[in-house]
């Protein structure tokens, strides 16, 4: 059996955390490939190493002295090395980093050094082989991740290595220039490694014991999710549930590899299992509820709209022409509403409205701002009668006015639009009716 284990920044912020991680890895001989993040915060007011590297590089980019800032980063790593009683020295590495900063190697290179250096320390501490992600993870010339080339290179490289540490978050173009994923990209690297080695399980270790039914900043001590499907996770991740980088699903999904979200500080907890499909029933009708604020709706009215061929395409063309993506498009016989991110739309709103009039000739266009979208997600909803009725009844009792309803054909999720001011109240009402009422 092969397991790939990824550890987040909070799990590797100090020597003490490194020791916990090593104990976890050594407790299961199947944990053979390790993907570390850069050191995170050691305490609430601390600074993540990645942020320190960004700040340091910005000084270098502006031709300002950055030695003090680079020394502070070196001290963070030395503190970990000393705490682990290693004889390892990173002096040569920091000389190379200083040289490359002066030569303006780029933000991507600067940010990647956090994971790179942590990977060197982790490999030395575990006695595993270090594999630089820049040598095995490829990006295309346009900046997109090259999944197939990476899988071939990485699979061949790791085929002859029994145990290895591969830093997360970055790779390189074919010419060797370093390129990073978006923030949280170490999750993606772990998934890529799991696919390449045909792992049985991809364990993602962080500072929480898996996914929760709702945001703990809104619901006090929400229930944990034991098992969730990839599709459910995509819906919740997109709407703000951020335990795992949403792009981390794709490499393992195509291979049917389950993901297990675990807590470094509570390794005895089972965590959340993310699977392709399951016959296990959810503990509750819903698997989770999540949402985001900051949307606006553009309502387009036109008599006999339903009989006009191409009307919807014309309306959406106006948004596309100005580089604005839409979230949801509920419609009626004579109305069509387009939900968009308010911060993307606000500076272009009048241009888009003019384009809608020019392209689609509507009777009226009306904009409503300061809206929130909430996703109620669950595979159990499909086989349970009255789910939508319970949701809207709960919202009515909480005096929440529903602005929009959109249910996918898969019956996996229901999207609800409410005013920003009603967002937290709506989440609590939905959680109460499906979870608290069952406890």
Q: What is the CATH number of the domain that holds 322?
A: 3.30.2130.10
Using the 3D structure, point to which of 174, 207, 240 is the last residue of a domain: 207
Q: Are strands 129-130 and 170-172 parallel, antiparallel or unpaired?
A: unpaired
Sequence-ordered list of residues with C-beta below 8 angstroms from that of 186, at least 6 positions apart, any chain: 6, 8, 35, 36, 37, 115, 167, 168, 169, 245
195 and 151 Cβ atoms separated by less than 8 Å: yes
Residue 26 lies in a domain: yes
Q: Are residues 65 and 202 in the same domain?
A: yes
Q: Is residue 248 part of a domain?
A: no
Across residues 231-259, what is the average pLDDT? 82
The parent domain of residue 146 ranges over: 3-207
Is pLDDT above 70 for 378? yes
From the number of C-beta atoms within 10 Å of its C-beta (0-12, 13-18, 19+), residue 43 rates as: exposed
One domain, residues 293 and 184? no
pTM, entire model: 0.84
Claim to verify: residue 173 and residue 292 sit in the same structural domain: no
Q: How many residues does the chain have?
A: 439
147 and 53, same structural domain?
yes
| 165 occurs within a structural domain | yes
- The pLDDT tens digits of the residues spanning 104-134 come to 999 999 999 999 999 999 999 999 999 999 9
The answer to whether 186 and 115 are in contact (CB under 8 A) is yes
Rounded (to 5) percent helix, strand, coil in the chain = 45, 20, 35
Number of domains in the chain: 2
Please check whether residue 167 lies inside any domain of the structure.
yes
Euclidean distance between CA atoms 293 and 213, whole angstroms: 18
- Mean pLDDT over 371-390 rounds to 88
Q: Where does a domain end: 179, 207, 235?
A: 207
Verify that 185 and 325 share a domain, yes or no.
no
pLDDT tier at 269, thresholds 50, 70, 90: very high
Query: Do 40 and 146 lie in a common domain?
Result: yes
Contact between 422 and 396 under an 8 Å Cβ cutoff? The reply is no
pLDDT, position 402: 93
Residue 231 pLDDT > 90: no
The pLDDT value recorded for residue 439 is: 58
Of 150, 176, 207, the residue that ends a domain is 207
DSSP-based three-state secondary structure for 6: strand
Query: Sign of the C-alpha dihedral, residues 176, 179, 184, 185?
Result: negative
CB 296 within 8 Å of CB 368:
yes
pLDDT tens per residue, range 44-60: 999 999 999 999 999 99
Same domain, yes or no, for 57 and 169? yes
Q: Any idea which residue has 């106006």 for tokens?
A: 318
Does some domain include residue 415?
Answer: yes
- Does pLDDT of 405 surpass 70? yes
CATH number at residue 78: 3.40.1160.10
Flag whether pLDDT at 277 surpasses 90.
no
Looking at the structure, do residues 294 and 190 belong to the same domain, yes or no?
A: no
Residue 83 domain flag: yes
């Amino acid at each position: 059996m092969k397991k790939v284990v990824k550890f987040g920044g909070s799990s590797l912020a100090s020597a003490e955390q490194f020791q916990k991680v090593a104990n976890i890895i050594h407790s299961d001989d199947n944990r053979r490939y390790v993907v570390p993040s850069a050191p995170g915060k050691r305490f609430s007011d601390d600074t993540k190493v990645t942020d320190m590297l960004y700040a340091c590089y910005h000084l270098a980019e502006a031709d300002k002295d950055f030695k003090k800032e680079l020394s502070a980063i070196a001290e963070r790593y030395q503190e970990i090395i000393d705490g682990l009683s290693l004889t390892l020295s990173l002096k040569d590495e920091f000389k190379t980093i200083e040289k490359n900063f002066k030569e303006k190697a780029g933000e991507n290179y600067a940010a990647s050094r956090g994971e790179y250096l942590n990977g060197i320390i982790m490999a030395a501490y575990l006695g595993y082989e270090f594999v630089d992600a820049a040598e095995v993870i490829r990006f295309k010339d346009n900046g997109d991740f090259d999944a197939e080339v990476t899988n071939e290179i990485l699979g061949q490289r790791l085929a002859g290595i029994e145990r290895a540490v591969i830093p997360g978050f970055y790779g390189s173009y074919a010419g060797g220039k370093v390129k990073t994923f978006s923030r949280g990209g170490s999750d993606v690297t772990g998934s890529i490694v799991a696919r390449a080695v045909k792992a049985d399980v991809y364990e993602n270790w962080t500072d929480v014991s898996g996914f929760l039914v709702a945001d703990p900043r809104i619901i006090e001590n929400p229930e944990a999710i034991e098992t969730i499907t990839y599709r459910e996770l995509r819906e919740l991740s997109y709407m703000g549930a951020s335990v795992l980088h949403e792009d981390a699903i794709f490499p393992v999904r195509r291979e049917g590899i389950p993901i297990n979200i675990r807590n470094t500080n509570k390794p005895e907890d089972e965590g959340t299992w993310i699977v392709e499909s399951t016959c296990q029933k959810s503990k509750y009708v819903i698997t989770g509820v999540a949402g985001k604020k900051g949307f606006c709706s553009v309502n387009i009215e036109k008599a006999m709209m339903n009989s006009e061929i191409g009307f919807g395409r014309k309306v959406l063309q106006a948004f596309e022409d100005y580089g604005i993506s839409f979230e949801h498009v509920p419609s009626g016989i004579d109305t069509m509403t387009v939900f968009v991110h308010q911060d993307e739309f606000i500076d272009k709103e009048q241009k888009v409205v003019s384009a809608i009039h020019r392209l689609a000739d509507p009777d009226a266009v009306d904009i409503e701002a300061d809206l929130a979208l909430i996703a109620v997600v669950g595979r159990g909803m499909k086989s349970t009668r009255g789910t939508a009725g319970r949701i809207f009844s709960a919202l009515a009792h909480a005096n929440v006015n529903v602005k929009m309803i959109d249910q996918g054909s898969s019956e996996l999720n229901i999207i609800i639009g409410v005013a920003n001011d009603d967002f937290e109240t709506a989440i609590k009402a939905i959680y109460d009716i499906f979870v608290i009422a069952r406890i």
